[in-house]
Amino acid sequence: MAELLVAEAVEKSYPTGSGGRLGVLSGTSLTVSSGETVAVTGESGAGKSTLLHILGALDRPDAGHVFYKGTDIFKKGDRALAHFRNESIGFVFQFHHLLPEFSALENVAMPALIRGQRAARARRRAHDLLDQLGLADRASHRPAELSGGEQQRVAVARALMNKPGLILADEPTGNLDARTATVLHEVIADLSRMHGQTFIIATHNPVLAGICDRVLRIESGQVAQHETILSSA
């Protein structure tokens, strides 16, 4: 499989109230191939979310490089980086961040509308995605009228809207009960298997990690040297 994303010696720290710096990532490197599903695990505060924010260009590293399809993304200016995020990366967070005043369909279509796609075309694709995720009959409902699992599946559909090369999911089942989380696990597994979708998933959930092709663990601000290669069975 072709390399999709390569991170090299990424470093990130944040200022503390005492005037110092709190190091979160210290030379983190990883490679992800097209079509892979990779889980990133580690203790709370280990840097999983920080890593995903940098890989998805939501935040810039203090040092190091991130290459997407061979291009060093942080050589881009802020406007070009925003365009890159909208076009190439899909995000799913623990809390779905759906816009409460819009329907499920409108929430899913939003990334395409921001991109400048015609409304009719965006709505057709949004409806198709909701249908694929078993939510066609909920398209007109607002987030408050949906269950937690339905809201998170809407968030997955939104992440897929612009056909991104990479989906980044930060604790996507962390706010769901076990039964509802299982449904989302099946959605992710199906997307990976049927569509070759690439996922990087930060998670504490061993069941979710267990459906992934690989599990990487962050320790002391770095990806641990060992990688658990999981059976595809």
pLDDT in tens, 29-58: 999 998 888 999 888 777 888 999 999 998
What does the DSSP assignment read for 118-146?
-HHHHHHHHHHHHHHTT-GGGTT--GGGS
SS3 154: helix
pTM check: above 0.95: no
Cα 124 from Cα 105, distance rounded (Å): 9
Averaged confidence pLDDT in the chain: 85
Rounded to an integer, the average pLDDT of 77-94 is 87
Angle at the Cα of 198 from the Cα atoms of 33 and 170, rounded to 5 degrees: 115
Rounded to an integer, the average pLDDT of 64-87 is 91
pLDDT in tens, 132-159: 888 899 999 999 999 888 888 898 889 8
